[in-house]
Amino acid sequence: MNKYEIIKRIENFAPPELAESWDCSGWIVETSLNDIKKIMLALTVTDDVVRQAKEQNCNMIISHHPLFFVPKNYKNIDIYCAHTNMDKTIGGTTDKLIEVLGLPKGHLCGEFLRIVEYETTVSSFVHKLVQISPYMRFVNNRNITELKKIAFCAGSGSEFIQEAFENGCDALVTGDLKFHTALESPIALFDIGHFESEIPALEILKSVISQGVEVIQAVERSPFRQIKS
């Protein structure tokens, strides 16, 4: 299949103009090859992902995370990424996370946040989250026990804590929380991990592009490990 037809499908779903100005969404490597037989999907393009793609005879890699620097050995395979445009579009990264958790659809709050009306206890919600993130971190400065309104931002969304609070949310589900951010939070925070919150998004890309071309998913895992005492 022509690679530009494949990318057109992605861009119809997640228009490039939605991407943040600092983002490198789009073509990362564009070779002279046009006919694509096999695509590897990945959250992040790494040496290991490029190796997997070559070993499995993939002509192209499509990722969520962009590359800000492209190593020489990556330049002989087409690489395209859909990053913040996938995060913002309806049905994108955060919406997929909410779906995977079996929760009601969220409504937009700004560009990145989704808010879900969902009444539950904190303990029950923790049990639901650990199904996809066994080593999640939890912040609860105000000892909240009941949740009615929960904000979601897949990936790194700590900058939206105040926005979630101002919109009446009891909690925010995201990744990559930092100490002082957590210390000062007026709402409960669930840090389920950057990787864990975004890896479901590859299912979206697969459903968008899979007709007429073979698509496989790279074997990836979070770089963080839990140390057992």
What pLDDT does residue 229 have?
A: 65
Distance CA 121, CA 128 (A): 11
User: What is residue 159's predicted lDDT score, i.e. its pLDDT?
Assistant: 96
**φ/ψ (deg, to 5) at 145:** -115, -25
Question: What was the pLDDT predicted at 197?
Answer: 98
Domain membership of residue 225 (yes or no) is no
Tell me, yes or no, whether 213 lies in a domain: yes
The whole-number pLDDT of residue 114 equals 98
Number of Cβ atoms within 10 Å of the Cβ of 207: 13
Sheet containing 78-81, strands listed edge to edge, beginning at the edge strand earlier in sequence:
26-29, 78-81, 60-63, 38-42, 214-217
pLDDT at 226: 84
What is the count of structural domains for the chain? 2
Give the CATH number, domain containing residue 48. Answer: 3.40.1390.30
Nearest to 80 by CA among 65, 62, 57: 62
Alpha carbon of 168 to those of 69, 84, 117: distances in Å?
Answer: 40, 25, 11
Q: Give the pLDDT confidence of 136-182 residue by residue, as tens digits.
A: 999 999 999 999 999 999 999 999 999 999 999 999 999 999 999 99
C-alpha distances out from residue 139 to 45, 112, 178, 183, 188, Å: 31, 21, 11, 8, 5
Residue 25: how many CB atoms within 10 A of its CB?
23
| 106 and 139 share one domain | yes
Strands (DSSP E) found in 48-170? 60-63, 78-81, 107-109, 113-121, 137-139, 146-156
Each residue's pLDDT tens digit in the chain (229 positions)? 999 999 999 999 999 999 999 999 999 999 999 999 999 999 999 999 999 999 999 999 999 999 989 999 999 999 999 999 999 999 999 999 999 999 999 999 999 999 999 999 999 999 999 999 999 999 999 999 999 999 999 999 999 999 999 999 999 999 999 999 999 999 999 999 999 999 999 999 999 999 999 999 999 999 998 887 6
Are 126 and 167 in a shared domain?
Answer: yes
Are 25 and 97 in a shared domain?
no
Task: Name the token pair of 143.
Answer: 């000892």
Q: Tell me the three state secondary structure of residue 123.
A: helix
Instruction: Give the model's pLDDT for residue 228.
Output: 75
Q: Are residues 48 and 96 in the same domain?
A: no
Q: Does residue 79 sit in the same domain as residue 103?
A: no
Same domain, 51 and 99: no
58 in the same domain as 19: yes
Residues 99-110 have pLDDT tens digits of 999 999 999 999
* Residue indicated by tokens 């007026």: 186
Q: What is the pLDDT of residue 15?
A: 98
Range of the domain at 30: 3-86+199-217
185, 159 Cβ separation under 8 angstroms: no
Q: Are 117 and 148 in contact (CB under 8 A)?
A: yes
Q: Which two tokens stand for residue 199?
A: 């890896």
Residue 210 domain-assigned?
yes
